[in-house]
Structure 1
């Protein structure tokens, strides 16, 4: 695959990630969130070439965040830290836990500081809520979708080359 094709595919992935997040904005931001676009992060398990597109997509998606610049930086960092080790994992289920942990901890802490959470919602609870939403999106939905996609020879070729 040439450099132009790689760049184009990552730009398309970034646009899809951002569009899914922004299009489902009421669910994508806040102390209880399910960012359905995060199911795409499992692409980094199959091939690390997708890391730039996923990272850029998260940054673009966080342009719409009610928490502004801190979320653009910390949210993007959380996603990057979650997807970077994925391609080194032995199986997709284990890999899917990387963004669950990184987003749960970092975004939970960010929301604890920035979101004026109710007094009964502790830092630990915020981390658990974010981690649970991430688990639903990446571990459950992501693994189901990518299992189906990888059965298609054309899709598998595009994702793996």
Structure 2
């Protein structure tokens, strides 16, 4: 009867597919360790069919154009409520919060963003987690309630 722990329930593997898809407030986090500094970071794009085509030269965030220095580590604020963090160790963390600002910024739907997450996981080797909004807000409420005691 080995079930998942409550901690794992807060983050859902993309490959298991959310029954209702992504909802406003959900947070998509993708992490990958690179052997060397990446030159591009994949970002959602409204005109790409993610199953066939992802982040061709120039379609993602071009770090060379931004004069990214490998040893520094950087935080890049992307469209809407999303960001990319490039660590000094070459690790990349992409964070996308499903908000109207994010969806409008990339001109994608929640379904497109979920499809993008699956490609990040299956084709590009990112470890992708989705933290549902209600579970994150419940944890925040619990912290507030404990702090008020």
TM-score past 0.5 threshold: no
TM-score bucket (shorter structure): under 0.3
Select the structure with the greater relative contact order (CA < 8 A; seq sep ≥ 6): 2
- TM-score with structure 2 setting the length: 0.26
Of Structure 1 and Structure 2, which has the larger fraction of its residues in strand? Answer: 2
Q: Mark the structure with the bigger radius of gyration.
A: 2
Q: Which has the higher helix share?
A: 1
